[in-house]
Amino acid sequence: MKSVVQIVEVGPRDGLQNEKKVFTLHQKYDLIKRLSLAGLERIEIGAFVSKDWVPQMSDSTELVKKVLAAQASGELPAKIRYSTLAPNLKGMELAVQSGIKEVAIFGASTETFSKKNINCSIAESFVRFRQVMDLAKPNKIKVRGYLSMAFGCPFEGKVDESRVVRLVRAMLKLGVHEVSIGDTIGVATPAQVESLLKKIKKIAPLTRIAMHFHDTRGTALANVLASYRMGIRVFDSSVGGLGGCPYAKNATGNLATEDLMYMLNGMNVKFAGDVSALIDMRSWIQSTVDHELPAKVSKAGLPLKGTL
């Protein structure tokens, strides 16, 4: 059965990157294997970025090779689309060498965040993206674009919609297959989501857009609902809600995959993945990250059979 909504599981990358506890290669592979066997169809598993900046991702080459070998041998399902971040030429060269067939570039909606996060202006970041795209094409690697801080920036506050629309257009023009629009600090409400998507719809089909919500202020699922009704069919989420919010201490970051699945199930929207299998992972992940996970469905459990 084909999915109506695609879930892009970002726990092993976006999630772990924002956890204090650094997973070993073995633990990461274990997480990815569990997610894969839970039926997820797209999983972001690593990042080819500087070891000094993001030590959690320093073993991505080894990890990608292990995952792809396991996929080739049949230990992991063949149909799963694994991906990594490859934000610049150096990262992309490593991505090519690793054998991964999908990568993502990562841009910001505001100059201040771009400078603080990726150490260059937005214009400079697009020069880097161009280099990534140039290497992607001959190697037949699909590239996704992330556009972070699209609704609010911890440094600049409210973000101008027309600027976000321009950046979405610029990313699509680069040749990315999809732009994932991020509410990176979890400030968006449904009205803002709808307002932005109405403007984006004028310059691109919403089938090219994914939404990446954080549940920092409890609005993630309401924003998913609003986006879904506007026509969005790809959502990013993180198992257990892995990964906090670096801009609000102890607050929730990524929307939890279980919570997203629970709502989609209740709305009879088909997707790939088994919510029960993810719930079963809770105690293992918690013992590994060493804190309680924010995901609500795995905390409360599924209701009686027939209620879901």
**Which residue ranges make up the site for its own copies (CB under 8 A)?**
151-154, 156-158, 185-192, 215-222, 224-226, 245, 248, 250-252, 256, 259, 262-263, 265-268, 295-297, 299-301, 303-308
Q: Which is nearer to its own copies, 63 or 239 (CB)?
A: 239
Q: In whole angstroms, how close is the CB of 161 to its own copies at the nearest point? A: 13
Q: Which is nearer to its own copies, 245 or 278 (CB)?
A: 245
What's the gap between Cα 33 and its chain centre? Answer: 17
Distance CA 203, CA 171 (A): 12
Phi-psi region of 119 (alpha: psi -120 to 50; beta: other; left: phi over 0): left
Q: Which is nearer to its own copies, 73 or 250 (CB)?
A: 250
Q: In whole angstroms, how close is the CB of 88 to its own copies at the nearest point? A: 29
Q: In whole angstroms, how close is the CB of 217 to its own copies at the nearest point? A: 5
Q: Read off the tokens for 306.
A: 């027939």
Q: Which of 76, 85, 245, 293 is catalytic?
A: 245
Strands (E), the chain: 6-9, 42-47, 81-85, 102-108, 142-148, 152-153, 157-158, 178-183, 209-213, 234-237
Angle between helices 25-37 and 60-73 (to 10 degrees): 40
Helices (H), 137-256: 161-174, 190-201, 220-230
Q: In whole angstroms, how close is the CB of 276 to its own copies at the nearest point? A: 14
Q: Which is nearer to its own copies, 134 or 160 (CB)?
A: 160
Active site residue 245: yes
Q: What amino acid positions are annotated as catalytic residues?
A: 245
